[in-house]
Structure 1
Amino acid sequence: MPEALRQLHWQIAIALLFAVAAGALLADSAAFISVVDFLGQLFLNGLRMLIVPLIITSMMQAMLNLPAASSVGRLGGRLVGWITLSTLLAVLVGLLLVNTIEPGVVDGKPAGEALGLDAETDTVMARVQDAGTGDIAGIFLRMLPPNIVEAAAESQMLGIIVFSLLFGFFASRLEAPLRDAQTRFWQGAYETMLRITGLIMRFAPIGVFALVSETVAKTGWQAFGPLLMFFLCVAAALLLHLLLVLPVLLKLLAGVSGWQHLRAMMPALLTAFSTSSSAATLPVSIDCVQRRAGVSPSTAGFVLPLGATINMNGTALYECAAALFIAQAYGLDLSLSMQFLVVMLALLTSVGVAGVPSASLVAIAVILGAVGLPLEGVGLILAVDRILDMMRTAVNVYGDTCGAVIIARGEGEAPYRNSAPERETRA
């Protein structure tokens, strides 16, 4: 097999093409639809299985790997501030564009029928209303569930996320022997979950083929109109955040030209785009930030590894946009309190998403479940997820590098004044 075909994104692209052809040719075959429905549900069940353990272990290991020195505490405070600001702005950009463009509405009507959504709108509306009965106060109450095991069983991830943050924070402050034991355990659990995630993502081409071919067989070509609008909407939001929001923040907070930084970080962005993995891009990111931007090794070594784990601007934007798109497809007009819940979950779950390809699908499932929307929506957006995954990973990595430069400036460093010569930047 050629080396290119061994890469997951090419396998998914080929599966997508075969799915379109098979769905069009076998639209009248009940046996075919039954088989692909089974395979699609099997793949979605695999994603559901990952939700609780992947979120918990990724958050635990991130918190336990935070050093405790006072100088690092200052860096950590600035990093948290940067993550909160940049991710919140990213989510708001996605929220604005999806509410303005309304990709889930076609010719003034919800796109649910064209997308082949099975659940009745009235049923979904009742579930959404039930999910939001506690309005804003209920959101904060769900942050502290009375039974953490029950919350995990019911996928009440808001409480799970808060518990994981609290557990990881206080475990990192235990005496050295106990802290080291906790760190080794959760690091091992996290690495195990990454391998299980990788195993399930190997079957993503089969899942994409099953889910997309079923949609084409049931609904025909009209399903791709709404998905195209969703793709263009999310792509525009990601580009807006990458080319406008982050450069403005970089100029205001560090006095650095956005164009200069974008050009210097191009190797990292291309690596992120091709691998769809913040973790795989980390060595390139560290090299670019230190050698091309002139950030000190101590600052880059602290900010970028943590950023690859918990700073996910593009992922948060995508999660928010996907949830609102699916709600629009069902004809649901989410209230401000429900949109606030989506924003909060996008912020929190993006922190717990591992820096590996397509891990945000798990977080999207969390958000859909929290607001009462069916998880079949995850299967629908898989058709356009791969390219958007590449784009949002590039935004994630660029956000990390911007944060490293801004934090270095706050520490008294002089990024781009201590960098390698301009000829290296152009290399």
Structure 2
Amino acid sequence: MKKIAGHWQILMALVLAVGLGTIFRNLTIAADGEGEFVEFAKQATEVSSFIGDLFMSALKMIIVPLIVSSIIAGIGALGGVKGFGRLGAKTFGFYALTSLFAILVGLTLVNLIEPGIKDGQPNQTIAQAFEKASTDASDAEKAKIEQANQRKATDYADFFKKMFPPNIIAAASDNGQMLGLIVFSILFGVGMTRVPPGEMRHLQGTMQGINDVMVLVTQWIMSTAPIGVFALMFPVIYDAGWELIRELLKYFGTVLLALGIHLFVVLPLILKFVGKVSPIAHFKAMGTALLTAFSTASSSATLPVTMRCIQENAGVSRRTASFTLPLGATVNMDGTALYECVAVMFVAQVMGIDMSFGAQFVVVGAALLTSIGVAGVPSASLVAILLILKNSNIPNAEIAVAALLSVDRLLDMSRTAVNVFGDSCAAVVVASSEGEDVLTGNPTSSAE
């Protein structure tokens, strides 16, 4: 019997989780939150959350050794840094351009649809929902808002500080310090090529061996992905606040439509006309990574899967993948930048704040900067939205953010998938520009 492909297994797990989560939630509501079934449902979600956390931890566990060994082995195999400056310029240029496109798509749609406006006036129903959500926010949500509220625009400078962490061991244990690991790994790899070959032969072989082992471990972890994905999604669907989502349906639709246009129109056009590759073939190659990104809502946790898909399925070389993808998971956030722009404009519409062209231009610039500068911190979008709202002099920003945070998980999953796909597009376009034979159906042709 033919084995079902991994991405189809994950998709079936997602569908099953949505179906069971919806059924359990409806039965719980019908029972008025009391009874044996309600207790069973709560226990089921707790067990599911525990299994989902284990899956997430397993993915995060391999990020550091995979990044370090991949970058160092890739530079060592080249025998130097020839072309790395060109590679870096292309990568950063791609990331800046696609993030700007994403923001402009979001800005255009939020101005055309006006999700915060009803009958030509600020939507008072949503404004009241904002107030209620702020009052009903959990202690954990209030703590997140308070933490984000303490950050200032000058904190963007932390982005550059993270490039050179004073303690690389401490940086390895902090997801927000992945940029420092990338810089250290590049410097280590370059330094290794400057030592006499005879002395470095064993170290280079060791790094290559570690990288091969980490790829194998990634495959083992991904064999459990359908279970992990189900476990992550089931509690999300069960706990989702559908009542507030109904009030914010127009806002949800605007965000999802904008993300869809960027994912299915803008990025494929770039693949077709800049990368000279088939967008359909690339979607097929990245299927498992996209579903993993959607279910985990974490670009960093999805990184091992993304690197596996981009090398084994798309045929991008280790040299290109090991540079573009870890960097992208740290600084390239197309979906996040788009979401920030739409969220800020939506809040302004609900609050009755008229945003002039100049003010919207400021929002575009701020969204572009914050999607890079605060991407490594927990609740990055929350931090960015608060910073932009404050910078735009919009009152009661904390109240609005509390409402958005309460329904953020579903949108977070969607924009993470866009973030990951944007990273993969960068790897393919850069690889194609470097003369690599990608997406040809022969993935081993450029695997080194």
TM-score normalized with structure 1 length: 0.63
- Change in Cα spacing, 1:383 to 1:164, as seen in structure 2 (3 Å) is closer
Of the candidates 350, 367, 388, which is equivalent to residue 411 of structure 2? Answer: 388
The alpha-carbon deviation at position 182 of structure 1 amounts to 5.2
Give the equivalent residue in structure 2 for 1:376.
399
1:81 is matched with 93
Matches within 5 A, 1:131-170: 155-157=151-153, 159-161=154-156, 163-167=157-161
Cα deviation, residue 385, structure 1 = 1.5
The C-alpha deviation readout for 1:249-301, integer Å capped at 9, x for no partner, is: 11111101111111111111011111111111111111111111110011101
TM-superposed CA distance for 1:156, in Å, is 3.3
What amino acid sits opposite 2:362 in the alignment?
A: L
Q: What aligned pairs does 1:14-413 form with structure 2 within 5 A after superposition?
A: 69=81, 71-116=83-128, 117=130, 155-157=151-153, 159-161=154-156, 163-167=157-161, 171=164, 181=166, 183-184=168-169, 186-187=171-172, 224-354=245-375, 358-373=379-394, 374-413=397-436
* 1:412 CA displacement: 1.7
Distance between the aligned counterparts of 1:189 and 1:308, measured in 2? 14
The letter for the 2-side match of 1:84 is A
Counterpart CA distance in 2 for 1:417 and 1:153 is: 48
Quick one: percent identity of the two aligned structures? 45
Shift of 1:188: 5.0
1:100–1:191 CA distance, 2 compared to 1 (3 A): closer
Query: What is the deviation of 1:331?
Result: 1.2
Tell me whether 405-414 or 312-321 shows the greater mean CA deviation.
405-414
* SS of match in other structure, 1:348: helix
Residue type matched to 2:158 in 1?
A: S
Which whole-Å deviations, capped at 9, do the CAs of 1:1-28 have from their partners, x for residues lacking one? Answer: xxxxxxxx99xx89x969x979x99xxx
**Gapped runs of 5+ residues in structure 2?**
1-16, 34-67, 133-147, 179-234
Give distance in 1, aligned partners of 2:263 and 2:88: 23
Whole-Å separation in 2 of the counterparts to 1:356 and 1:156: 13
Measure, in 2, the Cα distance between the counterparts of 1:340 and 1:331: 18
- Size of the aligned set, in residue pairs, is 308
Q: Distance in 1 between matches of 2:169 and 2:290?
A: 31
The DSSP-based 3-state class of the residue aligned with 1:263 is helix
Note the C-alpha offset of 1:361: 2.1
> Is the partner of 2:104 in helix, strand or coil?
helix
Distance 1:354 1:155 in 2: 13
Q: What amino acid is aligned across from residue 101 of structure 2 in structure 1?
A: L
Q: Are the structure 2 counterparts of residues 278 and 251 from structure 1 closer, same or farther at C-alpha, using a change threshold of 3 Å?
A: same
Worse-superposed segment, 68-77 or 89-98:
68-77
Change (3 A) 1:227 1:336: same
- Aligned equivalents of 2:127 and 2:96: distance in 1? 34
Letter in 1 for 2:107: L
